[in-house]
C-alpha cells in the first residue's frame, strides 16, 4: 500500500516549528507494512491544500493529513478535506461533551469554533483524542478507493491517537498488510563510503532483507529491513544478513538498535563486568564524562575524573611529571599514557581514559588541528595510547569525535580482556 503524509501549517513552512510528526508517522506506517512514498508540507491555505490532496489522491492509497484541526480561523483542514470528498461534517457526542465539560470547569462557554473540534467526516470514523480536544477522522472514499486520515498537529496528541486509535483501525481495515521488521546495526571508526565498499557485493545482491547505510554523528548505521508474516520468520532472515555483514566489518561494530549509542553500550558492558572507570580530559574539557553521565545507572560504574585543560593542571591535579611533558610535548603518546596512568591510581578505578590534543583552529607545538591522543589504563596493566587525526573538522567536531573514539577504544579493549 502506498501512503502520503501531508503536514499542514504555515508555521512549518516558516521554520518556526519543526515537523516531528512526519518522521514518526513514517516509522509507524513502516511497522504496519505501509510504504510512505511522499511527504508534503503546505500552509494554512485552502487552494494549496486542495492541490496537495489532488496530487496525493492520484499517487497514493492512503493519505494522512496532520495539523489544522484546532479552533482558530486558520485551522481549516477538516473543512477542506470534507468538501474534497464531498461529505458533510458530523458531531461526535462524546467529544462534544468532553469539550463542554472542559470549558465548564474553567467557567467559560465554548465558542462555535471549539465545537467544530468534535466534528468528523460523515461516513467515516471518529478517532478519539485522549490528550486534547480535537478528534481525528478515518474515512474511506469508495469512489477513488482512497483512505484518508486526519490527525491533530500537537505531537503529544497525535502520537497517542495513532497508537491507541489509528493503528487498530488500519489493521482492521487493511488485514492483508505484511509488517516490516528492521534491525539496525551500529558502527564506529569507518566511513560510510568505506563500509559500503566492503559490502558492495552484498548490497548489490540485496532483495530481502534490504540494506541501507546512513552516516550520522560520527558513526555509520546499517538498517536491515524485511517483510514477513511473523517476527520469527523476519528474525531468521535479518540475522543471516547481519552475520554476513559482521564477517566483513565486525571490528567496527559496537551494537544494535535504532536508539542505541556508544556510551550506552559501554556503560552496559562496564555494569556486566562490574568495572569502574574514571577520566582525565584536556581538549574535551569534561565532554567525555558528561556523555557518560547521560546514561541511566552510570553511577554504578563511573567514579568521576579530572578536567586538566592547562599543562599545569596535568602536573598539579594528576601528578604527571613536568619533565615528561617538557620532553614529549603536551599532545603526545607519553603524556596521554601518563594522564591515564595517574588518573587510575588517584581514582583507584579499574579503568582510566585520557584525552589530549589540538582542537584548533591553530597548531600546538607544531601539531595541526585535529591531532588527538587518547590514553587508556587498565588496572595492573601497561598504559596504552592511540593517535587520531581529524584535520578537516571544526573545533567542536574534533572534541565530539574524540569522545566517541574514546568510548570505542575502551569498549574494544574490554572485549579483548
What is d(CA 196, CA 203) in angstroms, rounded to the nearest whole number?
A: 8
143-191 per-position pLDDT tens digit = 999 999 999 999 999 999 999 999 999 999 998 888 889 999 999 999 9
- Contact of 265 with 408, CB cutoff 8 Å: no
pLDDT band, residue 229 (cuts 50/70/90): confident
What's the pLDDT at 110? 86
395-417 per-position pLDDT tens digit = 999 999 999 999 999 999 999 98
What's the pLDDT at 325? 97
242-282 per-position pLDDT tens digit = 999 999 999 999 999 989 999 999 999 999 999 999 999 99
Q: Assess whether pLDDT exceeds 90 at residue 111.
A: no
User: Whole-prediction pTM value?
Assistant: 0.78
- Contact of 186 with 249, CB cutoff 8 Å: no
Supply 225's cell numbers.
529491513
Residue 290, number of CB atoms within 10 A of its CB: 13
Amino acid at each position: 500500500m502506498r501512503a502520503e503524509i501531508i503536514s499542514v501549517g504555515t508555521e512549518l513552512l516558516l521554520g518556526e516549528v519543526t515537523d516531528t510528526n512526519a518522521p514518526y508517522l513514517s516509522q509507524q506506517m513502516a511497522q504496519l507494512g505501509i510504504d510512505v512514498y511522499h511527504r508534503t508540507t503546505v500552509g494554512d491555505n485552502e487552494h494549496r491544500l486542495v492541490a496537495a490532496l489532488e496530487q496525493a489522491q492520484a499517487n497514493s492509497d492512503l493519505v494522512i493529513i496532520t495539523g489544522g484541526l484546532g479552533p482558530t480561523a486558520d485551522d481549516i483542514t477538516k473543512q477542506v478535506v470534507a468538501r474534497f470528498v464531498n461529505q458533510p461534517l458530523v458531531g461526535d457526542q462524546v467529544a462534544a461533551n468532553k469539550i463542554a465539560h472542559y470549558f465548564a470547569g474553567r467557567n467559560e462557554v465554548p465558542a462555535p469554533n471549539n465545537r467544530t473540534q468534535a466534528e468528523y467526516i460523515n461516513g467515516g470514523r471518529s478517532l478519539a483524542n485522549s490528550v486534547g480536544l480535537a478528534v481525528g477522522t478515518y474515512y474511506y472514499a469508495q469512489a477513488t478507493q482512497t483512505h484518508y486520515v486526519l490527525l491533530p498537529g500537537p505531537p503529544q496528541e497525535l502520537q497517542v491517537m495513532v497508537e491507541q486509535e489509528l493503528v487498530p483501525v488500519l489493521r482492521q481495515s487493511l488485514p492483508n498488510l505484511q509488517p516490516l521488521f528492521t534491525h539496525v546495526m551500529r558502527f564506529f571508526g569507518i566511513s560510510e563510503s568505506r563500509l559500503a565498499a566492503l559490502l558492495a557485493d552484498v548490497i548489490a545482491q540485496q532483495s530481502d532483507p534490504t540494506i541501507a547505510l546512513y552516516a550520522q554523528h560520527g558513526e555509520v548505521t546499517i538498517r536491515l529491513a524485511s517483510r514477513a508474516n511473523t517476527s520469527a520468520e523476519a528474525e531468521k532472515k535479518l540475522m543471516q544478513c547481519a552475520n554476513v555483514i559482521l564477517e566483513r566489518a565486525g571490528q567496527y561494530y559496537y551494537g544494535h538498535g535504532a536508539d542505541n549509542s556508544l556510551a550506552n553500550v559501554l556503560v552496559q558492558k562496564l555494569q556486566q563486568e562490574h568495572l569502574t572507570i574514571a577520566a582525565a580530559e584536556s581538549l574535551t574539557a569534561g565532554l567525555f564524562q558528561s556523555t557518560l553521565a547521560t546514561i541511566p545507572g552510570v553511577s554504578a560504574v563511573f567514579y568521576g575524573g579530572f578536567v586538566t585543560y592547562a599543562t599545569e593542571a596535568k602536573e598539579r591535579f594528576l601528578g604527571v611529571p613536568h619533565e615528561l611533558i617538557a620532553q614529549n610535548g603536551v599532545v603526545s603518546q607519553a603524556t596521554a599514557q601518563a594522564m591515564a596512568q595517574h588518573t587510575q591510581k588517584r581514582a583507584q578505578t579499574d579503568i582510566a581514559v585520557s584525552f589530549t590534543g589540538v582542537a584548533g583552529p591553530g597548531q600546538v607545538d607544531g601539531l595541526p588541528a585535529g591531532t588527538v591522543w587518547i590514553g587508556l589504563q587498565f588496572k595492573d596493566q601497561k598504559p596504552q595510547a592511540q593517535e587520531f587525526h581529524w584535520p578537516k573538522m571544526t573545533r567542536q567536531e574534533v572534541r565530539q569525535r574524540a569522545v566517541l573514539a574514546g568510548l570505542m577504544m575502551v569498549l574494544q579493549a574490554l572485549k579483548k580482556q
